[in-house]
Structure 1
């Protein structure tokens, strides 16, 4: 019946079972002690029994469905009392709804039932018509009687029907949808003055006693966790590809067969010298930068080595590489820079170019026209691709062989020699860096950390793009870093805290002046030249260019234009004082494009609320007795 449940979106498996499964539950199929040989009744609902066998059946069906959806699921979650209680609660709710349907005279007629069965894709021909032979074959293959299957379908559709009746009043108006749209789509802008914590770092004074007190109060922050040194063999296409031979014929054949993959856009290879200038710099600062960039340009055009000039004068991150930017296509750089670079010929140097970063001098070292990449440009790439494809095909065979050798008692170094692959050795590995370096799960990393010294993993560990088998060669116990080794880090941390506190005090003082009528004008004058306007932001609290602060967003949306917000707000690196500049409603065009989706979503939400309220009321009146709680807790 599981295929049918998955395929029939209106059926019991979706509407009832998945209605209560929290999707973040991760578990695997396995019933432990659930063998069905328990008390025949697990619970009573209004004196109607819920057989233990029925509970076990639903439990197993749910587990199997979710296991098939995610084969990597964790078996421990299946045993959790919370999950078992969720399954039982759903069964209880189903019994209550079925009883209420009988009380209200709601039923599923035979014609309704047969119509629903006829819509199930598993029983349809290629033309979409119901095939009775397929239906009977399905039941026979699962040793299920038609009456059992049809009773399940009848119960499922009965519950669905009563839920639909309850949700009939869920018809949101366009006005309700528009109000929700306007609220969610509105944006705000603030004027703000930023007080940076970094401006106070040189004033922060941290005493040795404070450092020592912090060290003693936070030992966990300075404890080096248990570490392991492991040797391992990595069974991934990337690692095993180095052992694969690729012939010249294979390279040329692959290139000829995949020429369309090697089309390239027009490209330039360039380097630059950058003088940083703020977008909102004063005219004096801009003029100063222009004079300096012109002097550097004169040196470059007189024949001085451009790379050496970049190392000496450039203020960009590429200065250590002589300003080298490598190859790039259109769209990779800001527009003014791109336009200038693509106009230059090989060896030419540009006039100064202004972008939002500052002034640039660009030199083009080489150019490539659009078209197909030459074979020598992609030869290494093709070789790696073919080698990795060959390696991927060999992983299963090599892994099976390795597991057999380990099971026979062979040590990992001998396994590597037998397979003809290198053994690799880790640094001092922790749970965190194993998961990060290999892309394995935390449970898998814990398996490696927990290995006794000298022993190997019994089963391969899943990692990114493959598997790994490991052997622990050394274990280093957890230890506390000496104070002297971490003293500077603690000092820097406490200094940053102290600097942020000073920034908060300054921002609070400014905010107080701005909010007080007698000092507001003077306060505004003192910060006006540094007052900025934010990008528009929504109610979630993320302000582009500033960071995340939901409380700031909430306060701004509740404020009025040009009113200073009543407190200083912390953002990454400092504090701001702010006032509401503008509230921007969403556009009519956006409303028209989203109206139907919002109405549908709102209807679904209202329906769910009605069904949940209805279910809560029925549950409060029902007599529910769980007679075998031990089944849920084992």
Structure 2
């Protein structure tokens, strides 16, 4: 009920915290309101202590709500409080707060301080408050005001961010990666191997498995939890399709114009450029002579365009890019869709203009702006049909909700339901979450509504989904239970055969592996006997085991320890892989010198993260962390 209340109350402090502390965190400077004042952790009841530093219950619940809503946006209807419980989301939230408090305490102990100037620089570097790559104070104030967050709240949050970053920098002082470490890690990550393999599935060997009734019953008794149901619900459901609610909706010209005015932002024309290019490719870290030669060549081509030659024809003749045969046509781009170095140039040019040569990581470019669309409002006449379709959908959804709400009120009051054309309703049998028959309209929504009812709730609110609006009434609950053997016999049989088939596969694979090593058999004869295909995927690296052979960390571990001609076996789930090394292991070091710098930086970041995590673990072990009596996760 609490989460539903919070979602419906858009002005709540929790939603403001979500908008403020997750989407943006900023401080004001020159229009900002920088202070040195530290924030109150929230006051009120304390949930836990990290030494003498409290974590308030309000602070915990606010952070938990942020995490829960982030998951809800990501997973949609699949997210619910039961899933959050299984994921241990509340424990994860508390752990993250504890780590944060430990770091803040350690930073204070070490005397690390953050100045207002450092906070201001942090703010000005954040993209949401920038326009054309520069900080925009008006944009900053507008976003803060619309979010309902004060500059001081942003300032304090960003001050913590900078402080924690400085602590990490301090801990990682002196962390380095040697040339030997870099080369060794590069070889390990990039070593490749090529295999021939036979994949042995349990199903291949089920004919060798006897299945007397006694064995099946013994398997059932031993693995009862495997056949245990989850919690079950039985509900009555009501569903009103939007299509039914849309009948009879009439929209006047005034309605359309009013909707257009109220939703003008939706019908804005975004700024865009249509770009053609001539690209002269260059390798990474090109020599100055090559850069100068490429620039000179493009400057010559630019002069020819200025004098009247067709850019597209020159692109076909000289461009080395993939769009050369199309006259260098790259398509249409909005802001943020091009390489930054190209975008800065393209959006400064007018329609028909040609840029000077521009260098990027791909080479040297010459850009022609074939067309340019300036930002602005699309006129009503141009978008009238879209406005009508949008408003019709909106009115249909509103009518469906309102009409179905009348039905719900009647059900709650145990009165006769009003007649409603197009309404569908029915009753389910017992079902588990996510396993409701697809014959029920909006089955996923109905399932989530059923399992979303808590406490004494019997009737849900309306929810959109599945092309309409639905609500449910809980008729009965059933706790998890183990069905009788006779009710799940087929399921038991499948489980038993798969288990025993996997055992036979592993036993036979061990015998065949020895025969392969003794040169008494080869993979072809085994595959022929089993009527299986020999798998020969392309060469792969440790982290890229082909789908045909995976998922199997065991295979990567074993195979990369063998020389060419070696044999091995590995488990891949319940399957067994028998394989022979055809090529490798070997590492192509040709690209090492050109990739060395970037690879070293990535390795350094990884090493620093490991060092810092070890440091945090020591802080945790040494800290006096305790929970306040009465606080429950």
TM-score normalised by the shorter chain: which range applies?
0.5 to 0.7
Q: Residue in 1 aligned with 2:63?
A: 62
Q: Residue in 1 aligned with 2:409?
A: 407
In the TM superposition, residue 589 of structure 1 has moved relative to its aligned partner by: 7.6
Partner SS for 2:53: strand
Give the stretch that moved more between structures: 129-138 or 403-412: 129-138
Q: Residue in 1 aligned with 2:548?
A: 545
Distance 1:507-1:395 versus aligned 2 partners, 3 A rule: same
Unmatched 5+ residue regions in structure 1? 13-33, 248-385
2:606 is the alignment partner of 1:612 = no
Distance (Å, rounded) in 1 between the aligned partners of 2:628 and 2:67: 24
1:439 counterpart (432, 441, 444) = 444
Partner SS for 1:551: helix
Q: Residue in 2 aligned with 1:601?
A: 602
Q: Residue in 2 aligned with 1:508?
A: 510
Distance (Å, rounded) in 2 between the aligned partners of 1:442 and 1:505: 44
Distance 1:51-1:514 versus aligned 2 partners, 3 A rule: closer
In the TM superposition, residue 554 of structure 1 has moved relative to its aligned partner by: 1.4
Distance 1:616-1:390 versus aligned 2 partners, 3 A rule: same
2:105 counterpart (95, 100, 108) = 95
In the TM superposition, residue 99 of structure 1 has moved relative to its aligned partner by: 2.0
Distance (Å, rounded) in 2 between the aligned partners of 1:195 and 1:126: 58
Kept in 1, the 8 Å contact 2:182–2:599? The answer is yes
Partner SS for 1:434: coil
Distance 1:602-1:422 versus aligned 2 partners, 3 A rule: same
| Alignment size in residue pairs | 453
Partner SS for 1:439: helix
Superposition pairs of residues 149-548 of structure 1, within 5 angstroms: 154=159, 156-172=161-177, 176-192=181-197, 200-220=205-225, 230-235=235-240, 237=242, 240=244, 390=392, 393-409=395-411, 415=417, 417-418=419-420, 420-426=422-428, 429-434=431-436, 438-440=443-445, 444-447=449-452, 457-461=459-463, 463-464=465-466, 467-472=469-474, 483=485, 486-487=488-489, 490-491=492-493, 493-516=495-518, 520-521=519-520, 527=526, 532=534, 534-535=536-537, 536-540=539-543, 542-548=545-551
Distance 1:601-1:509 versus aligned 2 partners, 3 A rule: same
In the TM superposition, residue 94 of structure 1 has moved relative to its aligned partner by: 0.3
Kept in 1, the 8 Å contact 2:193–2:540? The answer is yes
Distance 1:169-1:141 versus aligned 2 partners, 3 A rule: same
Partner SS for 1:457: coil
1:484-531: CA deviation from partner (whole Å, max 9, x where unpaired): 565555455544544444444333323223334xxx346789659779
Kept in 1, the 8 Å contact 2:60–2:97? The answer is yes
Partner SS for 2:436: helix
Distance (Å, rounded) in 2 between the aligned partners of 1:499 and 1:552: 20
Kept in 2, the 8 Å contact 1:198–1:573? The answer is no
Distance 1:477-1:549 versus aligned 2 partners, 3 A rule: closer
Distance 1:625-1:430 versus aligned 2 partners, 3 A rule: closer
2:629 is the alignment partner of 1:630 = yes
Give the stretch that moved more between structures: 188-197 or 123-132: 123-132
Distance 1:467-1:179 versus aligned 2 partners, 3 A rule: farther
Distance 1:218-1:392 versus aligned 2 partners, 3 A rule: farther
In the TM superposition, residue 605 of structure 1 has moved relative to its aligned partner by: 1.7
Give me the TM-score of the superposition, normalised by structure 1.
Answer: 0.55
Kept in 2, the 8 Å contact 1:230–1:426? The answer is yes
Distance 1:532-1:140 versus aligned 2 partners, 3 A rule: closer
In the TM superposition, residue 56 of structure 1 has moved relative to its aligned partner by: 5.5
2:563 counterpart (551, 556, 560) = 560
Q: Residue in 2 aligned with 1:271?
A: none
Distance 1:36-1:584 versus aligned 2 partners, 3 A rule: same
Distance 1:495-1:412 versus aligned 2 partners, 3 A rule: same
In the TM superposition, residue 469 of structure 1 has moved relative to its aligned partner by: 0.7
Distance (Å, rounded) in 1 between the aligned partners of 2:411 and 2:200: 65
Kept in 2, the 8 Å contact 1:190–1:581? The answer is yes
In the TM superposition, residue 419 of structure 1 has moved relative to its aligned partner by: 5.7
Distance 1:471-1:633 versus aligned 2 partners, 3 A rule: closer
2:584 is the alignment partner of 1:583 = yes
Distance (Å, rounded) in 2 between the aligned partners of 1:390 and 1:133: 34
Kept in 1, the 8 Å contact 2:177–2:600? The answer is yes
Partner SS for 1:582: strand
Distance 1:609-1:576 versus aligned 2 partners, 3 A rule: closer
Partner SS for 1:633: coil
Distance (Å, rounded) in 2 between the aligned partners of 1:131 and 1:388: 34
Distance 1:506-1:426 versus aligned 2 partners, 3 A rule: same
In the TM superposition, residue 594 of structure 1 has moved relative to its aligned partner by: 6.2
1:142-198: CA deviation from partner (whole Å, max 9, x where unpaired): 79696x876665554344334324334345456644543432333322334566655
Over the aligned positions, Cα root-mean-square deviation in angstroms equals: 5.3
In the TM superposition, residue 90 of structure 1 has moved relative to its aligned partner by: 1.5
In the TM superposition, residue 470 of structure 1 has moved relative to its aligned partner by: 1.8
Q: Residue in 1 aligned with 2:378?
A: none
Distance 1:465-1:178 versus aligned 2 partners, 3 A rule: farther
Distance 1:162-1:588 versus aligned 2 partners, 3 A rule: same
1:574-605: CA deviation from partner (whole Å, max 9, x where unpaired): 64543322226465687688666544432322
Kept in 1, the 8 Å contact 2:104–2:163? The answer is no
Question: Which protein shows a greater Rg?
Answer: 1
In the TM superposition, residue 608 of structure 1 has moved relative to its aligned partner by: 2.0
Kept in 2, the 8 Å contact 1:236–1:392? The answer is no
Superposition pairs of residues 104-123 of structure 1, within 5 angstroms: 106-116=112-122
1:179-235: CA deviation from partner (whole Å, max 9, x where unpaired): 434323333223345666556544433223223333444445556777655442335
Partner SS for 2:431: coil
Kept in 2, the 8 Å contact 1:236–1:395? The answer is no
In the TM superposition, residue 61 of structure 1 has moved relative to its aligned partner by: 5.5
Give me the TM-score of the superposition, normalised by structure 2.
Answer: 0.55
Distance (Å, rounded) in 1 between the aligned partners of 2:616 and 2:541: 35
1:66-120: CA deviation from partner (whole Å, max 9, x where unpaired): 46645667677699455335324422320221220x2xxx544454455445556
Q: Where is the helix percentage greater, Structure 1 or Structure 2?
A: 1
Distance (Å, rounded) in 1 between the aligned partners of 2:620 and 2:432: 49
Distance (Å, rounded) in 2 between the aligned partners of 1:510 and 1:236: 60
1:368-418: CA deviation from partner (whole Å, max 9, x where unpaired): xxxxxxxxxxxxxxxxxx999845641233213422442354679954723
